[in-house]
Structure 1
Amino acid sequence: MIFFCYSFLSHIHLNNTKHTDPSPPPMRGHDWINTSLPDELIVEIFSYLFSKSTRDACSLVCRRWFRLERRTRTTLRIGATHLFLTLLPTRFSNLRNLYIDERLSIPLHLVRHQFPLSFPSHISISTLISSFISQGKRRPTDDEGDLDSLCLSDAGLSSLGQGFPKLHKLGLIWCSNVSSDGLASLARKCTSLKALDLQGCYVGDQGLIAVGQCCKQLEELNLRFCEGLTDTGLVELALGVGKTLKSLGVAACAKITDISMEAVGSHCRSLETLSLDSEFIHNKGLLSVAQGCPILKVLKLQCINVTDDALKAVGTNCRSLELLALYSFQRFTDKGLRAIGNGCKKLKNLTLIDCYFLSDKGLEAIATGCKELTHLEVNGCHNIGTMGLEYIGRSCQHLTELALLYCHRIGDVSLLEVGRGCKFLQVLHLVDCSSIGDDAMCSIASGCSNLKKLHIRRCYKIGNKGIIAVGKHCNSLTDLSIRFCDRVGDGALTAIAEGCSLHYLNVSGCHQIGDAGVIAIARGCPQLCYLDVSVLQNLGDMAMAELGEHCTLLKEIVLSHCRQITDVGLTHLVKSCTMLESCQMVYCSGITSAGVATVVSSCPNIKKVLVEKWKVSQRTKRRAGSVIAYLCVDL
């Protein structure tokens, strides 16, 4: 019955997505659904619709479906406004997860026709919603104080707690007007809270203490950029929710020191994830966490005053560690990494960024000890070379993702070993690896036939030979990016088109690629959704015509700095690519205002057009001003 009704609803919403009449839409003389099915059954059917687009479409069939669909919503993401929050409980009665983000912005032209005032160039979603709610009652001004008054306040937070006492997850992202009073009020009402994100909120210790006292089920807490907090608040929170807390993030909190980390280590024995970014945390604090949180699984550190001693403690005590990320460490050496290799046998994901004192010996210890490694990123670690990665290729047979960024000392031999040993590799990133060339790519292609994603940037030794091998052997490849690789030409793209069905392609700055290569992609990859061909001087209208004919699923295209593409090619492109959502075409001298107008008028789903301001006619501005973005604006 449920399956039948689901199929029936799907058929109805496809044919009635614009109906807004209070009465149900006519269905060949009779409405069998609204007259036969009770609210409870329709709500039950809606609960099986997991796609947001499908739910949205169903909610537009009629007012009854709109009202019932909102009753099944459990998650909502919005911009903040206390006026809007007071309306939420009556409309989304089953809401359990609410994410409020004041970083969300909307262009001025979307509201200018409603409020002919002097708004800033971008206003928050909260300002927009609040303006619509209060239209006819009061008119906001462009005063700083008036705009601040539209953001989420303590009163709004209190009313939110009153309306959703069973809230499980709450995100307050950069809600700068919220203070401890509002947080404490919410904590007293939402005692079932399990996850709280306070990133960028200037709340104080009293609010955090209230959370610790009232929210005894709290499992996840994000305190990134909460500059108003001190050790007092975090210590009291650890005392209150130490038994349940599983995830903690702290960054840029200058007044949180080792004292807080000692409290976490003493009381939060269930902690599984810890992210620390602080220059005020030393060995003492991390040692306490390592000794007191034995089931720690995820550890992300950017603490310049932490040394090998702390990492040794992690290796000794945290035997369940699965993910380790070390950022910008100047005081870690191979000794610390060796301790991880010796103790953390379950490690699957390792990220090393700008760790200048790590060398091949440290990577050897990881390869020898962590046989289950699946993800490895080495970024800017200039003392790690070919030999270190050779160890990974020989020992880590389960590796599925490898990223090498700014690794000038890593050469072809290392990837030869990876190609031989890592048969399950699916993702490979190579950025500014000047010593890696075609031999390495041929080895990866022949040995890693499961490769699905290959991103290469500024690796000047890689040319046609290596990419042709990828096209020949890696038939599962769907995502390819070859940016600013001067030796890659049309022959490489032809081989890719013959062997792979790409969804994503970026060949920006590959000057040897022209019409022939892109035409081959158009004919061989009809599933293509994203294409970046910017800075290709030999690309012209013929390629655009072929893309328009064969790649009808294309949603995003970047044509910037392609001087041979004209309005004619653009017309052919958009003729059949009606799903196009984004088109970037700055510094295309052959494209005029007529071409811009063609894109806007031919693509009903267009959301963004990036172009020079002088190429947009007044008529186009009036018709689609909300989707047009300018590279250069008048000063």
Structure 2
Amino acid sequence: MRGHNWINSCLPDELIVEILRRLDSKPSRDACSLVCKRWLALERLRRTTLRVGATGSSDLFLNLLAGRFSNVRNVYIDERLSISLPVQRGKRGSRSQTSVSSLNQCAFEKNGIEDAEFESSHFSDSGLIALGEGLPKLEKLSLIWCSNVSSAGLISLANKCTYLKSLDLQGCYVGDLGLAAVGKSCKQLEDLNLRFCEGLTDMGLVELAISCAKSLKSLGIAACAKITDISLEAVGLHCKSLEILSLDSEFMHNKGVIAIAQGCPCLRILKLQCINVTDEALKAVGTSCLSLELLALYSFQRFTDKGLRAIGNGCKKLKDLTLSDCYFLSDNGLEAIATGCKELTHLEVNGCHNIGTLGLELIGKSCPRLTELALLYCQRIGNTALHEIGRGCKFLQSLELVDCSSIGDEAICSIAEGCRNLKKLHIRRCYEIGNKGIMAIGENCKSLTDLSLRFCDRVGDEALVAIGECSCLQYLNVSGCHQIGDAGIIAIARGCPELTYLDVSVLQNLGDMAMAELGEGCPNLKEIVLSHCRQITDVGISHLVRNCTLLESCHMVFCPGVTSSAVATVVSGCPNIKKLLVEKWKVSQRTKRRAGSIISYLCADL
């Protein structure tokens, strides 16, 4: 019968909720929620996650959201993101503006506020209290730089949200009483992140460690000047199930880290940036943490190869190792890792100037499961190191090289011939790498999806013609490779139809012909960076936009051939555009009215 609502008459709530759950995108679910009040209510019930900016009357918004989305389990609140309360503008009777304004008016009346002006405020204890009262089933709460939150709000939330499992207090000035209350009420707490919590001392963390002794599995501490080894000793004594520890502090010493190592045998992930920790602590980790899988050491100045040898001798399950600015490590330490940690899959060496070719050669010979390798600012590592990686690490999928002046085409050819499963290759400022090495990649690594060759000034069109044979390529960055022109980008356009990201900034020889080919061959392109391309004009932009209707981000500053006409073309031709970076004087008043919210300006006075 015409006009009869068969769906709402026949289908139960549970089935409609399941249908909404199976929709593949948030816009689709939002559209369905507008069908009728019943669908709107059911769609709200299935929401489990809220992400909210914390400025601009955020307490009011949290009060509203908590009342409408009662099944939410995860809440992310970020002070760095803003909320703007809409005010009625433009045409009278606009549905969206009227509904939002009505919503705000009702909320203010409910809270006893009669003023029509909406004053900007920050997330505070009032918002936390509203969360606790409206979302008692909350399991994960992230408060990023919410500096107006205090112990009072945290105590109120802890008393209501007893199912809380994860709490991130980055940049919040909460005190010991609030943290102790969380420990007392939230017995299921597993994950705690305390980064830049300057108001906390050992007292609060010790109380939480005692209360959550059986549940706590992950702890992060950074830049908390009043938290010392006493806290870590308490965690090591009580929290036997701890699996993850991230520690960044100049106030921690060996005593605290040793307590964790000896008291937490389940430790799997350890990240340390502590200038006062020495080899003694790493020896304890190597002796006691036999389940360790990930180790990251940053800016260590007081430990040597002795500590790394202890890790190699004891942590046989180690899979992921990061060594950053560890000045006293040498090839001997890396040799211990190579011989002892056969399951190693990820290795990053960053700024460790005493590690050279020999250490990496041993990794290539002894760690056949290596899938990711990053070498940053490693001046002493030469071609033969990557030759051994190519020979021994057949499963390598990701390689990153930054400022490695001794690595050239010979090394890249070895990687290309031996690691044919390579999917990601990032090279920056490696001036000995040119066409020969990149051509070898294009000829051998057909699964390549991500290629970045920033400021490699020996790479030209010939290399990109070979890369054009990698039909799976999705990400390409060749910024600063001044020898690349139209021919290279045209080859990419014709051979890589899956391309979604392209950065060709500072290519002085790139012109409109390449833009036209990109428009024809890469319809999935979503982000493009064209800044400092002097040969590109409005004509090229027009050809690009004609078929690349999925474009979401476009940077085209310092392109003298691009005018306000091209800016208007991008705005009108790309319905999905979210960010457009141009000079301010190139944006007409009409374009500004139409798309002012998505336009960003650089050097507005030029």
Q: TM-score range by the shorter chain?
A: over 0.9
Aligned counterpart for 1:255 among listed residues 223, 226, 233: 226
Kindly state the Cα deviation for residue 66 of structure 1 after the two structures are TM-superposed: 2.7
What secondary structure does 1:491 align onto? helix
The separation in 1 between residues aligned to 2:8 and 2:508, in whole angstroms, is: 59
5 Å-filtered alignment, 1:83-232, equals: 83-105=60-82, 134=108, 137-140=114-117, 147=120, 150-232=121-203
Identity of aligned pairs, percent?
76
What's the CA shift for 1:140? 4.8
Query: How has the CA–CA distance of structure 1 residues 73 and 186 changed in structure 2, closer, same or farther, with 3 Å as cutoff?
Result: same
| Structure 2 counterpart of 1:76, one-letter code | L
1:444-477 Cα offsets, whole Å, 9 max, x none, are 0111011111111111111111011101110100
Counterpart AA for 2:33: S
1:512 maps onto 2:486 in alignment: no
Kept in 2, the 8 Å contact 1:471–1:500? The answer is: no
Tell me the residue number matched to 1:360.
Answer: 331
Q: Write out aligned runs for 1:110-509 (5 A).
A: 134=108, 137-140=114-117, 147=120, 150-509=121-480
* Letter in structure 2 aligned against 1:397: P
Q: Distance in 2 between matches of 1:130 and 1:412?
A: 64
CA contact (8 A) 2:471 2:497 kept: no
CA distance in 1, matches of 2:191, 2:423: 33
Amino acid at match of 1:540: G
2:439 partner SS: helix
**Take 2:477 and 2:107, find their aligned partners in 1: how far apart are those partners?**
43
- TM superposition shift of 1:88: 2.1
Deviates more, 1:152-161 or 1:454-463: 152-161
- Match of 2:494, SS state, is helix
1:114, distance to aligned residue in structure 2 (A):
5.1
Which residues of structure 2 form unaligned runs of 5+? Answer: 91-102
Shift of 1:32: 4.2
Equivalenced residue count is 588
For the Cα contact (< 8 Å) 1:131–1:140, is it kept in 2? no
Alignment-derived partner of residue 76 in structure 1: 50
Deviations 1:371-404 (A, max 9, x none): 0000000001111111110011001100010000
Distance 2:474 2:347 in 1: 25
The CA deviation at 1:283 is 0.5
Closer/same/farther in 2, CA of residues 164 and 552 from structure 1, 3 Å limit: same
Q: Secondary structure at the match of 1:86?
A: helix
Unaligned runs of 5+ in 1: 1-25, 116-128
- Counterparts of 1:132 and 1:334 in 2: how far apart (Å)? 66
3-state secondary structure, aligned to 1:429: strand
Summarize deviations over 1:249-274 as a string: whole Å, max 9, x none.
00010000011111011011100000
Any idea what the Cα deviations from partners look like across 1:504-554, whole Å, max 9, x if unmatched? 110001011000010010010111100000000000000000111111111
Deviates more, 1:489-498 or 1:555-564: 489-498
Task: Say if 2:465 and 2:491, in contact at 8 Å, map to a contact too.
Answer: yes
Cα distance change on mapping 1:371 and 1:256 into 2, 3 Å:
same
Q: 1:260 to 1:111 in 2, by over 3 A?
A: same
Name the counterpart of 2:526: 555
Give the one of 565, 586, 593 matched to 1:594.
565
Tell me the SS of whatever aligns to 1:407: coil
Does the CA contact (< 8 Å) of 2:585 and 2:604 recur in 1? Answer: no
The alpha carbon displacement at 1:501 in A equals 2.2
TM-score normalised over the length of structure 2: 0.94
Rounded Cα–Cα distance in structure 1 between residues aligned with 2:534 and 2:107: 47
C-alpha displacement at 1:31, in angstroms? 5.3
- For the pair 1:58 / 2:32, whether they are aligned, the reply is yes
How far does the alpha carbon of each residue in 1:74-117 deviate from its partner, in whole angstroms, 9 at most, with x for none?
Answer: 111112321112222332121111111111137x8x968759xx
- Tell me if 1:535 matches 2:535: no
How far, CA to CA, are the matches of 1:564 and 1:306 in structure 2?
54
Distance 2:164 2:323 in 1: 34
Q: Displacement, 1:57? A: 4.1
Find the aligned partners of 1:199 and 1:303 in 2 and give their Cα distance: 19
Tell me the SS of whatever aligns to 2:80: coil
| Cα drift, residue 500 of structure 1 | 3.7
Trace 1:550-629 onto structure 2 (pairs within 5 A). Answer: 550-629=521-600
Q: Deviations over 1:135-171 (max 9, x none)?
A: 9943557xxxx53xx2222122112111111111111
Q: 1:134 Cα shift?
A: 4.8
Q: Secondary structure at the match of 1:470?
A: helix
CA-CA distance at 1:48 after TM superposition = 3.5
Change (3 A) 1:111 1:405: farther
SS of equivalent residue, structure 1 residue 79: strand
Tell me which amino acid in the other structure corresponds to 1:250.
Answer: I
Letter in 2 for 1:352: L
Specify the SS of the correspondent of 1:102. Answer: strand
> Aligned partners of 1:401, 1:57: CA distance in 2, in Å?
41
One-letter amino acid of the structure 2 residue matched with residue 317 of structure 1: S
Please, which moves more after superposition, 53-62 or 172-181?
53-62
Q: Which amino acid aligns with 1:85?
A: L
Q: What SS does structure 2 have at the residue aligned with 1:393?
A: helix
Instruction: Say whether the 8 Å CA contact 1:273–1:296 is kept in structure 2.
Output: yes
Cα deviation per residue 1:158-195 (whole Å; 9 max; x = unaligned)?
12111111111111111111100110111111111111
Question: Cα gap change, 1:271/1:51 in structure 2, threshold over 3 Å: closer, same or farther?
Answer: farther
Given that 1:309 and 1:336 are in contact with CA atoms closer than 8 Å, whether structure 2 keeps it comes out as yes
